[in-house]
Amino acid sequence: MGTYVPDTREEQLELLKEAGLSSMDEMFSMVPDNVRLKEKLNLPDGMSEMEVLKEMEKTASKNTAFRSIFRGAGAYNHYIPSMVESVLSKETLQTAYTPYQAEISQGVLQSIFEYQTGICELTGMDVSNASVYDGATAAGEAVAMCRERKKNKAVVSEAVDPGVIETVRTYCYGNEMELVTVPAKDCRTDMDALKEALDDSTACVLIQHPNYYGNLEDAAKIGEAAHDVKAKFIMSVNPFSLGLIKSPAEYGADVAIGDGQPLGLPLAFGGPYLGFMASTDAMKRKLPGRIVGQTVDGEGKKGYVLTLQAREQHIRREKASSNICSNQALCALAVGVYLSSMGSEGLKQAASLSASKAHYMAGELSGLGFKVISDDFFNEFVTESDKDTAVILEALEEKGILGGLPLDKNRILWCCTEMNSKEDIDEAIEIIKEVC
């Protein structure tokens, strides 16, 4: 933290002398007198490092720290290799942000380039941008980039995360796009209702796969239906699942989006996260934000540059399809380091463990009389029973276990990751068995 310690009084006087000034008041003389603070602030005395640590521990003790977690719904408890925190804790990277004098920031540009490469390898898409704010923002931006003059309708499945749908709704309102939601049937997109919603004015179809309820959609058929009316097919995916299931490219997606949180970002009370976006080559010039590329300089040495950024976002804002001109550089670095440290086999193994543990837990709950809505899921699933969900979840909480997300009085959305051991699952099942 040495570089963040404020300068001393002696250093301040030296600065004033070098600038040819006699006092701090003279330095800030351009600030109008009526807005300047003249009296001392009533601030408490400073504290030592040890005192601050004790105060923070006292505050943190008010939090509930669960021993095991069986809840997902968009924020997942995955193992993060120590390498991720080690790299991110370097002072030179702590303030990583969008490089405005891009080519002198070769380290930042390379980290973004590696992140983009990882996202393309995961999704199978041709090109990735430098990341947007979160998964919901990525969905809104993806819908906006599909709009055309005669295609102004976005069709969105109600099996998409409700928070994402609301963000897309806000984007559509601002873009003057029509939003049509397609109902979910048995926790999956209703194909008949989807086909009825499609017409020549449809700009895009957005689904989530695995969807909000954890189920795998019939993504190939949905993509074909979208392309039949010349609409773009957008797939929102859990990137962690791509270690095990087909990529968006294999389903024929035009745009792949999602939240990168499962890839090396802690739960952290909801953020900061990052949204990833990748598309086919044909759609690359409509991607918001920026794209970092690799090239060579005049001497043939490898270098990194801002290859593409939409100039309308800066100088013709009324013509822009997006107002995003930044990126989550530090979070993107975390994702890049995570993917590098896990490797393809590591990610595949972790995804396989998550899926197998979820299916094991679903089987155990089914044995207790719970109805598992579907058996075609990745690592999240919905159960239904005549037992009040609040009673079940309270019993788990009393034992230090965070249960699934209550969908209503009788349905719960459960989640397992590689962090849940068989012993954790069996303990939860025993508690639920007692309750039931």
Q: Tell me which residue has tokens 């997902």.
A: 72
DSSP string, 364-406: HHHHTTPEES-S-BSSEEEEE-SS-HHHHHHHHHHTTEE--EE
- For residue 2, the model assigns a pLDDT of 44
CATH number at residue 231: 3.40.640.10
- For residue 252, the model assigns a pLDDT of 97
- Same-domain pairing of 218 and 303: yes
CB 402 within 8 A of CB 66: yes
CA distance 358 to 419: 11
CA distance 406 to 387: 12
Whether residue 18 is contained in a domain is answered as: no
Read off the pLDDT of residues 35-68 as tens digits, 9 standing for 90 and up: 988 888 888 888 888 999 999 999 999 988 899 9
Read off the pLDDT of residues 146-181 as tens digits, 9 standing for 90 and up: 999 899 999 999 999 999 999 999 999 998 999 999
Q: Tell me which residue has tokens 């099996």.
A: 159
Whether residue 205 is contained in a domain is answered as: yes
Read off the pLDDT of residues 221-260 as tens digits, 9 standing for 90 and up: 999 999 999 999 999 999 999 999 999 999 999 999 999 9
Whether residue 43 is contained in a domain is answered as: no
Whether residue 361 is contained in a domain is answered as: yes
Query: Exposed/middle/buried for 370, CB within 10 Å: 0-12, 13-18, 19+?
Result: buried
- Same-domain pairing of 209 and 112: yes
Whether residue 202 is contained in a domain is answered as: yes
CA distance 290 to 292: 7
What are the CA-CA distances from residue 386 to residues 10, 70, 284, 383, 394 (Å)? 73, 20, 50, 10, 16
What radius of gyration, in Å, describes the C-alpha atoms of the chain?
25
Could you say which of 304, 339, 374 is where a domain stops? 339
Could you say which of 284, 314, 339 is where a domain stops? 339
Whether residue 37 is contained in a domain is answered as: no
Taking residues 318-327, what's their average pLDDT? 73
- Same-domain pairing of 401 and 330: no
- Taking the mean position of all CA atoms in its chain, how far away is CA 419? 19
- Same-domain pairing of 260 and 383: no
Checking if the pLDDT of 183 tops 90, the result is: yes
Q: Over the chain, what is the mean pLDDT? A: 92
- Same-domain pairing of 255 and 122: yes
Whether residue 381 is contained in a domain is answered as: yes
CA distance 412 to 392: 10
Read off the pLDDT of residues 270-321 as tens digits, 9 standing for 90 and up: 889 999 999 999 999 899 888 999 999 889 999 998 888 765 556 666 667 7
Give the CA count within 13 Å in the CB-facing half-sphere of 395. 16
3-state secondary structure of 44: coil
- Same-domain pairing of 173 and 103: yes
Range of the domain at 176: 83-339
CATH number at residue 422: 3.90.1150.10
Whether residue 222 is contained in a domain is answered as: yes
As for how many domains the chain has, the answer is 2
- Same-domain pairing of 265 and 409: no
CA distance 7 to 393: 52
- Same-domain pairing of 320 and 365: no
- Same-domain pairing of 383 and 241: no
3-state secondary structure of 307: strand
Q: Tell me which residue has tokens 């790299």.
A: 87
Q: What sections of 41-104 are H helices per DSSP?
A: 49-60, 82-88, 91-94
Consecutive H or E run containing 306? strand 302-309
Could you say which of 293, 317, 339 is where a domain stops? 339
- Same-domain pairing of 285 and 427: no
Task: Please choose, from the candidates 331, 346, 360, 340, the residue with its C-alpha nearest in 3D space to the C-alpha of residue 420.
Answer: 360
- Same-domain pairing of 311 and 191: yes
- Same-domain pairing of 312 and 365: no
